[in-house]
A and B are shown apart, each in its own frame.
Chain A
Amino acid sequence: MDTCIGKIISISELNVQILLNGEKVKFHDILSTEHKGKKMYFEVTEEDGNMVAAVPFQSVIGLKKGVDVYKTDSSLSIQYSDEILGKVFDSYGNLIDDSHIEQEHRKDVYGRNLTMEEINVNGGILWTGIKILDFFAPMRKGFKMGLLGGAGVGKTVLIKELIHNVYTGLNSNSVFVGVGERSREGRELYDEMQEADLLDKMAIVFGQMGENSAARSKAVFSGLTLAEYLRDEKNQDVLLFVDNIYRYVQANSELNAELSRVPIENGYPANIATSVADVEERINSTEKGSITSFQAIYIPADDITDEAVQVISSHLDGQIVLDRKVAEKGLYPAVDVFQTSSKMIDIENVGERHYRLVEEVLRYYARYRDLEEIIAVLGIEELSMADARIFYRTRKLRNYFTQPMFVAENFTGIPGQFVDIDDVLQDVEDILNGRYDDVDEAKFLYIGKFGGE
């Protein structure tokens, strides 16, 4: 039997205060009360003398002052066994796909961080089959890759393509966490995984954008717990997809405002760095298993200097930045090659040839950027021979780095392509050497490999 711990004395949309009757409660305890014939839950967020503030999980419409509040004997928890695979959970660890769990075995979602000794930093290289990613930002097992982009530049499509390509290649289990994104896309992901017979290898948590701030701020913890189960108990190389980690910070800002705490710039909570570290420090690899994560990061108002974006990206091993200016030109994936980076780009990791090619291509891109301005004023005929060569070859490279996606086939009508890194290096080398100087640049758009056709 749950014990009565006090009564509600103030209510607002996301903050309920409870006057304690002497019972003790602590941070993250789950409280409950009876509301409109249903159980309603809160989580303790702040203690102040004989009062506690708690965030309600459901709508508080109709709730009254003076109602008794009880303490439940658990904190927020989620299933911790093989039964998580193929299931869909909400942020609080409840099943939402009409399935059921045979043997309940739950675990607290606020797990511990790994110690320095446990963390493993060496993993094998992991190819994605996406030309522009493998070329500019290759990754390895245990890597944390961020996908940054403003609204509507193609983050979700890229995440889905990665699920499709990496997942089928790696052949291990994975966890998808939907945080504050579209329910429609959530539904589509579920259907697509089912169609591809991948659903039973995957565990899904959804706290989508129609849900309140409490739900959106908890989804990532539930998801992490599932990934940790696969890593620690099953010793697997787990893939963790988080779409979108920015929404976690955003939900925290909403809760922060409801608690009337003083915010920092743009309304973010003062503890933004700590709250991000709480999540990111748990995504790590051990000797036994690894978690390779892809995290979509929304860039508010197309402002990459945004505090939340900066805080999150400081935890990443690599980042792919999607840019509206590239998307405007119809070049997808709309990657900004200058801002895209990976710790793997050095001679030790990818080899001399790859490294030199990346340097050379970036040099071409940089010169192209300057030339564009010159052309806008003088016209294309005024370029020197050498510059004209760079100009035309870079346009070919830009077109070459577009790629038809498996998951966008419905949209583009062009079937997807998985491209081997050796082919990419060969094609890029050939373009740079002028082997294709006579070929029309449009021939490089939305293809797989070019050579050998």
Chain B
Amino acid sequence: MGNFVEGLVNAKLRNMKEMKNVYEVGHVTKVKDYILEVTGLENVGFYERVVISNYSVGYVTSIKKNCVMVAVLQRANAIYVGDEVVTTGFDFCGMYSRAAIGHIVDIFGNDRLLNEKFDACRPLPIETDPIPIMERGTVNRPLYTGIAGIDLIYPIGFGQRQLIIGDKKSGKTQIALDTIVNQKDKNVLCIYVAINKTKKNVKELYDNLMKKGAMEYTLIFASFSEDEPPIAYFTPYMALSVAELYMREGQDVLVILDDLKSHANIHREISLLTGKVPGRDAYPPDIFYTHSRMLEKGCQHKDGGSITILPIVETKGGDITDYISTNIISITDGQLVLSRKNFEKGQKPAIDYTLSVSRLGGAVQDKDMKKLGAKVRQRFLSYLETREVYELANTDEMSYDMQMRLKEGRRIEERLAQYKFSPRNKNEIIHMFEEALEGEA
């Protein structure tokens, strides 16, 4: 640490001697919400951090022939046309301190609960280069959520990106929380990212995790709906940058992104405000890349560490085929679809087993789970389909085989119901479902 500070001081001194500490000053010529047009900054770099009228902070989003565009990140007081804008000579970076684990933080290294900056904050680039294909390893270690419907039927492995998608109030966040709580004593660092949430929401979540003793190994990255929109835009990238830092040290990291639909909307807002051409549903054409480069950080590194990402997307009316949902589904390694209808029927977790997918499937299960899981999945899906077709048929007239299949399906269905925060471990799951299967097992 001492070396680091010394290095910083020396670099500053060196710059002063070379007259590099003379920063440019420009002036605001246009204010459009949090997007400013500034003239007079000829030597500013793309993405450079700038200070507006002494206190507010922004960064350069584009450099034009006669002016530069600046997005405001922290607004100390009102910004007027004519205000001074000073360059800093640094690329815009997030701040992160290793002391932050167990706390609610923002991208500037502040503790949001106590409203103070952490000690020993270090700058961390918000976005890093993509992780090369050849640095990746095989995703094959199971990450247990404790939920039978997931661990057995649509499993998640370290390094996988598994989308949780569903309507409001269908239990999306609960699945993420269950997963975090189930990582206790398993040496997994959990990062929960709140994108554009209310303070109350985040506080409740924090309390919940605190009660379960899960905050010891959890970090909450929060952006609130009252923050400047660019902060909400950057928060998930920053969280993944932190995750990458730990992954490269060999740590397993689990990241929850709650939720990417809000993130897409924020990105649309910023893009339209800066005059970009709109595409489908008025989202900018780079909306796919916005999320693909974010979720591509999820990986099993060949040197041991991993980043598992569970992004959350909210749908309307149970429609998972809208633009943003399908975009994200096409990036992730599978999706858990939660159905409002199931939720209302009392089936919890309200997983829609017909629409959910895991592209990795058995590859991330151990031998016993894989064998049983494949059997249960196939029979249960065939049960759900058969049930639908023969809904009106007379059960007594059915063939014996068919009756048995329906009964078996019902037994599986009963065993998939599970109350929140009541995890089942692998052996329990195997025992329960072997019982459910007809005859053989």
Residues of chain B within 8 A of A343, CB atoms compared: none
**Is B19's CB within 8 Å of the partner chain A?**
no
Bound-state CA distance A211–B289 (Å) is 8
Q: Closest B residue to A253 by CB, please name it.
A: B285
**Is A88's CB within 8 Å of the partner chain B?**
yes
Bound-state CA distance A253–B284 (Å) is 10
Interface string of B370-406 (1 = CB under 8 A from A): 1100110010011001000110111001010110010
Range of interface residues on A (Cβ < 8 Å): 35 or more
Return A342 CB to nearest CB of chain B, in Å. 26
Return B299 CB to nearest CB of chain A, in Å. 7
Interface string of B322-345 (1 = CB under 8 A from A): 110011011101110000000000
If A65-B42, A209-B293, A250-B288 touch, whether A182 touches B333 (CB-CB below 8 Å) is yes
If A301-B321, A301-B323 touch, whether A410 touches B45 (CB-CB below 8 Å) is no
Task: Say yes or no: B355 contacts A257, CB within 8 Å.
Answer: no
Residues of chain B within 8 A of A186, CB atoms compared: 133
Interface string of B278-321 (1 = CB under 8 A from A): 11100111101100110011010000000000000000000001
Give the interface segment out of A56-64, A117-125, A136-144, A273-281: A56-64
- Choose from A256, A328, A446 the contact partner of B285 (Cβ within 8 Å): A256
**Is B360's CB within 8 Å of the partner chain A?**
yes
If A11-B62, A379-B392 touch, whether A267 touches B285 (CB-CB below 8 Å) is yes
Bound-state CA distance A262–B279 (Å) is 10
**Is B83's CB within 8 Å of the partner chain A?**
no
Task: Say yes or no: B382 contacts A152, CB within 8 Å.
Answer: no
A88, A266, A446 — most chain B CB neighbours (10 Å)? A266
Residues of chain A within 8 A of B42, CB atoms compared: 65-66
**Is B361's CB within 8 Å of the partner chain A?**
yes
Q: Closest B residue to A204 by CB, please name it.
A: B133
**Is A298's CB within 8 Å of the partner chain B?**
yes
Residues of chain B within 8 A of A413, CB atoms compared: 362, 370-371, 374-375
- Choose from A66, A88, A210 the contact partner of B43 (Cβ within 8 Å): A66
Q: Closest B residue to A8 by CB, please name it.
A: B63
If A64-B43, A182-B333, A442-B382 touch, whether A375 touches B389 (CB-CB below 8 Å) is yes
- Choose from B127, B279, B382, B392 the contact partner of A267 (Cβ within 8 Å): B279
Task: Say yes or no: B277 contacts A209, CB within 8 Å.
Answer: no
Bound-state CA distance A223–B68 (Å) is 38
Task: Say yes or no: B139 contacts A184, CB within 8 Å.
Answer: yes
If A257-B276, A412-B362, A440-B401 touch, whether A445 touches B46 (CB-CB below 8 Å) is no
**Is A187's CB within 8 Å of the partner chain B?**
yes
**Is B354's CB within 8 Å of the partner chain A?**
yes
**Is A415's CB within 8 Å of the partner chain B?**
no
Residues of chain A within 8 A of B130, CB atoms compared: 183, 208, 210-211
Bound-state CA distance A102–B29 (Å) is 57
Task: Say yes or no: A190 contacts B133, CB within 8 Å.
Answer: yes
Residues of chain A within 8 A of B139, CB atoms compared: 184
Return A263 CB to nearest CB of chain B, in Å. 5
Bound-state CA distance A352–B314 (Å) is 51
Task: Say yes or no: B363 contacts A410, CB within 8 Å.
Answer: yes
Residues of chain B within 8 A of A375, CB atoms compared: 389, 392
Residues of chain B within 8 A of A187, CB atoms compared: 133-134, 136-138
Return A28 CB to nearest CB of chain B, in Å. 22
Return A187 CB to nearest CB of chain B, in Å. 4
- Choose from A60, A88, A257, A372 the contact partner of B286 (Cβ within 8 Å): A257
Residues of chain B within 8 A of A62, CB atoms compared: 45-48, 91
Interface string of B138-159 (1 = CB under 8 A from A): 1100000000000000000001
**Is B190's CB within 8 Å of the partner chain A?**
no
Bound-state CA distance A127–B286 (Å) is 39
Interface, chain A (partner B; CB < 8 A)? 9-13, 17, 59-66, 88, 96-98, 150-152, 156-157, 180, 182-184, 186-188, 190-191, 206, 208-213, 216, 250, 253-254, 256-257, 260-263, 266-268, 298, 300-302, 324, 327-330, 372, 375, 378-381, 408, 410-414, 440, 442, 445-446
Closest 7 CB pairs of A and B: A267-B279, A210-B296, A210-B130, A411-B361, A379-B392, A151-B329, A330-B381
